[in-house]
């Protein structure tokens, strides 16, 4: 797999996203995946807010999320079926404002894919809208796919044989987040100014229709749920 990050000018709020992408990506071969950071998607949608007082961010979090829980370091929230900090609302590289997550990242990915297919004359094309996430009991953040189009988000091994002929019962691979993690690592999380990336030669299954809920699981079915109620406070 090959990932190439793309350095751009600063994306200004209200700019149109599609011509910005095509300005910096001149050619695109078949079976490529274009990665777009959610921040420039949000800026194109004017999904920003002025910080009026100390409660502005909390009010927005409650409006944007299905669940808001205070923790020692940040607010733990659930938005669009994903656990995240502060409903994904970001203050970094925001020029004094708050940047919310895009309205519908799956819809945006689908639109971009359709338009970019026409622009570059390709059939098999994937698009990922990325953000950053922290995972339980692991330090620091990593990339995550909050929307995608053009490929299967899950690779299912269930029913297939392992190297010793034993059938897999549970094994599935989260393809979308795995690609996002790799791309965000190359794109950077600071002032690199690389909001775009192109992935080539990825071992994925391209398709025209994506199920936006294929990566979701019910909280009651989460295998880690019983663990946290039993952890000692000092861990």
Q: Which tokens belong to 53?
A: 């007082």
Structural domains in the chain plus CATH codes: 1-46+101-210 (3.30.1330.100), 48-100 (no CATH)
Nearest alpha carbon to residue 134 among 143, 146, 122, 125 = 143
**How does residue 127 score in pLDDT terms, banded at 50, 70 and 90?**
very high
Strand order in the sheet with 125-134: 2-6, 196-200, 32-37, 125-134, 141-149
The mean pLDDT of 77-86, rounded to a whole number, is: 93
Distance (Å, whole) CA 102 – CA 106: 10
What does the mean pLDDT of the chain come to? 94
pLDDT > 80? residue 234: no
In 43-68, which positions are buried (b, 16+ CB within 10 angstroms) versus exposed (e)? bbbebbbeeeeeeebeebbeebbeeb
DSSP characters over 1-55? -EEEEE--PPPPTT--HHHHHHHH-----TTEEEEEEHHHHHHHTT-EEE--STT
Q: Write down the pLDDT at residue 233.
A: 67
Q: How far is CA 76 from CA 61, 87, 90, 155, 215, in A?
A: 10, 8, 14, 29, 20
pLDDT tens for residues 160-181? 888 888 888 878 899 999 999 9
Report whether 3 contacts 198 (CB < 8 A): yes
Per-residue pLDDT of 208-233, as tens digits, reads: 999 999 999 988 888 888 887 777 76
Q: Region 5-24: what's the mean pLDDT?
A: 97
């Amino acid at each position: 797999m090959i990932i190439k990050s793309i350095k751009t000018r600063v994306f200004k709020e209200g700019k149109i996203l599609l011509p910005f992408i095509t300005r910096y990506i001149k050619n695109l071969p078949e079976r490529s995946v274009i990665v777009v950071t959610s921040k420039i998607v949000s800026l194109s949608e004017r999904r920003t807010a002025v910080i009026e007082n100390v409660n502005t961010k909390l009010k927005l979090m409650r409006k944007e999320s299905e669940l808001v829980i205070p923790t020692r370091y940040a607010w733990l929230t659930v938005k669009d079926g994903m656990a995240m900090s502060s409903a994904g609302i970001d203050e970094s590289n925001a020029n004094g404002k708050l940047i919310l997550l895009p309205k519908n990242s799956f819809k945006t990915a689908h639109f971009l894919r359709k338009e970019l297919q026409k622009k570059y004359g390709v059939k098999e094309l994937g698009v990922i809208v990325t953000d950053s996430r922290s995972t339980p009991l692991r330090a620091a953040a990593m990339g995550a796919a909050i929307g995608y189009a053009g490929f299967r988000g899950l690779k299912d091994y269930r029913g297939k044989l392992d190297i010793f002929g034993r059938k897999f019962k549970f094994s599935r691979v989260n393809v979308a987040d795995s690609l996002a993690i790799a791309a965000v690592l190359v794109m950077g999380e600071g002032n690199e100014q690389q909001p775009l990336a192109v992935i080539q030669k990825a071992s994925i299954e391209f398709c025209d229709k994506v199920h936006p809920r294929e990566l979701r699981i019910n909280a009651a079915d989460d295998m880690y749920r019983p663990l946290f109620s039993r952890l000692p406070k000092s861990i």
